[in-house]
Copies of this chain bind each other. A is one copy, B any other.
Amino acid sequence: MAALTLALDAMGGDHGPSIVIAALKSALSEFAEVHFIVVGDEAELLPLLQQQQLDTHPRITLKHASQTVAMTDKPGYSLRAKPDSSMRIALDLVASGDAAACVSAGNTGALMTKAYFALKTLPGVLRPALMSAIPQASGKSSFLLDLGANPVCDSDTLFQFGVMGSQAARHVLHIEQPRVALLNMGEEDIKGNDVVKATAQLLLNSPSVNYIGFIEGDDLFADKADVIVCDGFVGNIALKSCEGLADLLLNNIRANINAHWMTRWFVKLFYSRLQRSWDWLKPDHYNGASLIGLRGVVIKSHGDANAKAFLSAIAQAVEEAQQDLPTRIRDQVEHVLLEQE
């Protein structure tokens, strides 16, 4: 593995910097050549690093930030009023080339706005998109985008999401010819709205994308596509609805289990297996989301992430940085634009 530097926003997330430092500890042994710049309030971070005996670690640099973006800060406000926030400094480290990627569990809206401002989109890219890996019945993963960066998209933008998602699946999921699908309310050509239908035409006409057609919500996890494209409004609601259903189901299973002494006893044996399913079920809790289409790698870990989930976001950042995903996307978008001329 080539040497690489990652910037970690240590102040984001609901559970504070201790989660980030715990994830960092695991990441140091998992990624032996990666250097980490930990950005945040020195007074808070130094004791945490000392506790973990990481304060003098040769692959850690502590970088002070005098401000912290709150989970409730409005994006515009945080952009104007918090130029010295840990989130902004971590992004600036990517913009300057001092870090190859940045990971934050902070406020999603603020992160998207600051990232867009600090890093700008790649040449030819209309809009950045928020993309996450979602589990499939086969045990593999597929990419779903956009998850909320763009509540309204035109067909050119959705088409580009297909192109960008396809490059990501090729280089990060290592699928040679990723199957790209559009999320729609039916599989037939006549279904859906005008934007989805126009996007289907653009994808059909592009020799660079392996477009397989529309898929419906119930096939989101059925291993039918490697890349599933929709606007941010639909993607956000689809993924969060699944999260809501998972909660409902798991509470219901728990209630059923607790209702009987034999199941309560049994669950002690069964629980670890079930727990694994549960983690896997909440893709946006467990995986980070990639903000793609920018001139740098930005990974958003869930606000509620625990150390394991934050570590998984770090792993994603390492993979995307190693594959140099922004350059791959830039090249492909350029290629497709030339194709369309």
Contacts and interface: CB of A to CB of B under 8 A. Distances in A.
Interface residues of A, number: 61
Given A216-B237, A249-B249, A263-B269, A221 B193 contact: no
A244 B246 CA distance: 11
A243 to B, nearest CB: 5
Contacts of A192: 151, 233
Contact of A247 (B74, B183, B218): B218
Contacts of A281: 245, 248-249, 252
A160 to B, nearest CB: 19
Contacts of A219: 244
A188 to B, nearest CB: 8
A244 B218 contact: yes
A124 interface: no
Contacts of A237: 183-185, 216-217, 230, 234, 237-238
A190 B74 contact: yes
A259 interface: yes
Nearest to A248: B221
A184 B253 CA distance: 28
A227 B50 CA distance: 52
A142 to B, nearest CB: 12
Nearest to A220: B244
A56 B334 CA distance: 73
Interface of A: 74, 109, 135-137, 148, 151-152, 183-186, 188, 190-194, 216-222, 230, 232-234, 236-249, 251-253, 256-257, 259-260, 262-263, 266, 269-270, 273-274, 276-277, 280-281
